[in-house]
Chain A
Amino acid sequence: GNSVTQMEGPVTLSEEAFLTINCTYTATGYPSLFWYVQYPGEGLQLLLKATKADDKGSNKGFEATYRKETTSFHLEKGSVQVSDSAVYFCALKGTGRRALTFGSGTRLQVQP
């Protein structure tokens, strides 16, 4: 079946540091890939997505590239801010299914 593995947190960084949160997946066919973010007290929000191999999703300074050869979709940001502190979830939608498969989430803490 489909699965998503992402690095365990928490990840603690200083403001303006470079961020990488690793995500790898297992799926048959050609899944769509997503990063969702949950800020404290809020629901999950779609951060970015990619629907085919080599696509790059980007939003709010975050980027992730759909790498089929390594089955990865790592999240990166060049300079994090305190306001980026949140829990980040990698997810996929498999071919023929509408439900999402999520990873376990990675908590990011950015210190001033």
Chain B
Amino acid sequence: EAGVTQFPSHSVIEKGQTVTLRCDPISGHDNLYWYRRVMGKEIKFLLHFVKESKQDESGMPNNRFLAERTGGTYSTLKVQPAELEDSGVYFCASSQEFSASSGANVLTFGAGSRLTVL
């Protein structure tokens, strides 16, 4: 099966510009997550979709970030306007429904979108 696909792999923009990152999850995966790794630090959770609904957006840093998942398929993460501190690698991950028997749902991650804000 195809994995999680993210576009673009690398984006370089100037401060104040807008960037939209896209994630195509594995087909049939209802759960979609966005994470971010800034400056070699820990990977931090941004938000979680179940189908088209935002289940948990507690990790979104501020209102310059807007995530959507229209139709419950692919998702976009828009940063507007971008600031220097937004530079980092944005990871998307997807999973099927939580498995009570395994005790944890296994996430499949994309390769990430590297964002550089100058």
Chain B residues, CB < 8 A from A98: 31, 33, 48, 55-56, 98, 105
Main secondary structure of the interface of A (DSSP, over half): strand
Known: A32-B104, A98-B48, A99-B48. A43 touches B43 (CB 8 A): no
Total interface residues in chain A, CB < 8 Å: 25
Min CB distance A90 to B, Å, is 10
Q: Which one of B12-20, B75-83, B106-114 contacts A?
A: B106-114
Q: What 0/1 pattern do residues 73 to 107 of A give for CB contact below 8 A with B?
A: 00000000000000001010100011111111100
* CB-based contact B48/A104 at 8 Å: no
Q: How far is the CA of A72 from the CA of B101 in the complex (A)?
A: 23
* CB-based contact B56/A42 at 8 Å: no
Q: Which of B48, B55, B103, B106 has the most CB of A within 10 A?
A: B103
Does A46 lie at the interface of the complex (its beta carbon under 8 Å from any beta carbon of B)?
Answer: yes
Chain B residues, CB < 8 A from A17: none
* CB-based contact B41/A104 at 8 Å: yes
Min CB distance A60 to B, Å, is 16
Does B8 lie at the interface of the complex (its beta carbon under 8 Å from any beta carbon of A)?
Answer: no
* CB-based contact B106/A46 at 8 Å: yes
Closest chain A residue to B41, Cβ basis: A104
* CB-based contact B42/A4 at 8 Å: yes
Residues of B within 8 A of A (CB): 3-4, 31, 33, 35, 37, 40-45, 48, 55-56, 59, 91, 93, 98, 102-112
- Additional pairs, 17, CB under 8 Å, beyond known A43-B110, A104-B41, A105-B42: A34-B104, A36-B109, A42-B111, A43-B91, A43-B109, A43-B112, A44-B91, A51-B104, A91-B43, A98-B31, A98-B48, A99-B48, A99-B59, A100-B35, A100-B107, A102-B43, A104-B42
